[in-house]
Amino acid sequence: MSYLLNQLNAIRHLAEIEAMATSKKVITREEWEKRLNDVKVRKEDMNKLVMNFLVTEGYVEAAEKFRLESGTEPDIDLATITDRMAVKKAVQCGNLEDAIEKVNDLNPEILDTNPQLFFHLQQQRLIELIRNGKVEEALEFAQEELAPRGEENQSFLEELERTVALLAFEDVTNCPVGELLDISQRLKTASEVNAAILTSQSHEKDPKLPSLLKMLIWAQNQLDEKAAYPRINDLSTGALEDPAV
């Protein structure tokens, strides 16, 4: 973890110095590491980042353990994570009715004020009915629950038409809208509902760590134009690789 922050800080530092330089400067590994060591990152800040990741991604048990071990307080009631994960899981397993009821128990405002999310959950429910071959039920559900939403919103109508098109194909795996039956569609819906619950709890919907990684890659790319330096290419290990001279 700290490699990431250190690297970022060192890059920033260097970029400031290098801003005026015209030709590419070469920085040796030794020099770079010295710079890295000069950068101080507070342990509490790193712990907070870790906690933020665990909470946002829904790792309740890990978060609980980490709280005990590091003394970092999560910025959200851990019990609410359990509820949120139950919703996410229900969507991932295709139990949409269950998921909807759980969201409504958690906070009835979420689906009442977020028509797009509600539509996507209902659409997913329709997809599950089609997947299970319940054609009549699917048609009835589409007509009664989804068609009125399509009347309220043009883009919903288009999505609904695309979904119902699944019924028209014998071999759905090879039809143009086949991707709706893909497991990735469930994951997409699950992450949408996860984000909405987090927002309703005043919590950031994305963990901070991935954006930090994105920042690292961006910063390294920027610096590449100005200097040769020990780069981190393997993000999983964070190992520094010697500059090609």
Partner 1 sequence: MPTSAPPPSNYPTRSEDLIGRINSVHTPYEAKLKALRELKNQIIGNRTKKLAFLKLGAVPSVISILSSAVAENGGGSNLEFNEPVIIQSAAVIGSFACGLDAGVKAVLDAGAFPLLFGLISHPNEKVVDAGARSLKMIYQSKLAPKYDFLLEENMDFLLSLLNSKNENVTGLGGSIITHSCNTSMEQEKLSEAGVIKMLISLLGGSLIQRDASLESLGAIIKENPGVISKFMRPENGRALNVVTELIKDRYPRTRLLACMCLILIRNTSTCYLQDAGIKTKLILILLELIDDPGQVGDEAPFALSSLIAEKEDMQKIAFDSNIVDKLCNHLEKGSFQAKRLQGIFLALADLCSKLECCRDRFLSLKAFNILTDVLTHDSPEVRAAACICLKNISRSVKNLSAGHFMNEAVIIPLVQLLHDTCTSVQIAALGAISNIVVDFTAHKSKFIHCGGVKQLVQLAKSMDSTIRVNAVWALKNLMFLVNSTCKEEIFLELSPSMLISLVCDPETSVQEQALALVRNLIDGSIDSVEYVFAEDGLLLNAIGRQLQSASKVEVLIQGMYVLSNVASGNEFHKEAVMNQLFPQAGSDTQTILIKFLQSTDSRLRTASVWALVNLTLTNSPDANARVMKLQSAGIVCQLKNMVNDPCQDVKLRARMALGQSGEHIRTWDAFIKVSIFSLLLVEMEIVKFAFIFSVSSMYQFPFFVSCPVPWLQHVVVGD
DSSP states of 34-92:
HHHHH----HHHHHHHHHHHHHHHT-HHHHHHHHHHH-PPPSS-HHHHHHHHHHHHHHH
Calpha distance 227→34 (Å, rounded): 17
Of 77, 82, 72, the C-alpha closest to 49 is: 72
Q: Among residues 34, 44, 108, 234, which is the contact residue for partner 1, using CB under 8 A? A: 108
x-marked contacts with partner 1 along 186-215 as a string, rule CB under 8 A: -------------xx-xxx-----------
Could you tell me which residues come within 8 angstroms of residue 187 by beta carbon, excluding any fewer than 6 positions away? 92
Closer residue to partner 1 (CB): 79 or 168: 79
Sequence letter at residue 156: F
How many degrees, rounded to 5, is the angle at CA 126 between CA 125 and CA 131? Answer: 95
Number of Cα atoms under 13 Å in the Cβ half of residue 52: 16
Closer residue to partner 1 (CB): 23 or 202: 202
Query: Which three-class secondary structure state does DSSP give residue 181?
Result: helix
Token duo for residue 108: 């009835």
Nearest approach, Cβ of 173 to partner 1 (angstroms)?
Answer: 22
Token duo for residue 140: 């009835």
Closer residue to partner 1 (CB): 215 or 232: 215
Q: Among residues 37, 155, 222, 233, which is the contact residue for partner 1, using CB under 8 A? A: 155
Give the binding-site size for partner 1 (rule: CB under 8 A): 36
Query: Which three-class secondary structure state does DSSP give residue 239?
Result: strand
Closer residue to partner 1 (CB): 62 or 147: 147
Contact between 27 and partner 1 per CB under 8 A: no
Q: Taking contact as CB under 8 A, which single stretch among the options 9-17, 80-88, 103-111, 227-235 is the one that binds partner 1?
A: 103-111
Q: Among residues 109, 161, 224, 241, which is the contact residue for partner 1, using CB under 8 A? A: 109
Q: Round the CA-based radius of gyration of the chain to a whole number and report it.
A: 24
Contact between 171 and partner 1 per CB under 8 A: no
Contact between 145 and partner 1 per CB under 8 A: yes
Nearest approach, Cβ of 43 to partner 1 (angstroms)?
Answer: 25
Nearest approach, Cβ of 45 to partner 1 (angstroms)?
Answer: 19
Return residues touching partner 1 (CB under 8 A): 95, 97-98, 100-101, 104-105, 107-109, 111-116, 118, 128-129, 132, 137, 140-141, 144-145, 148, 152-155, 158, 199-200, 202-204
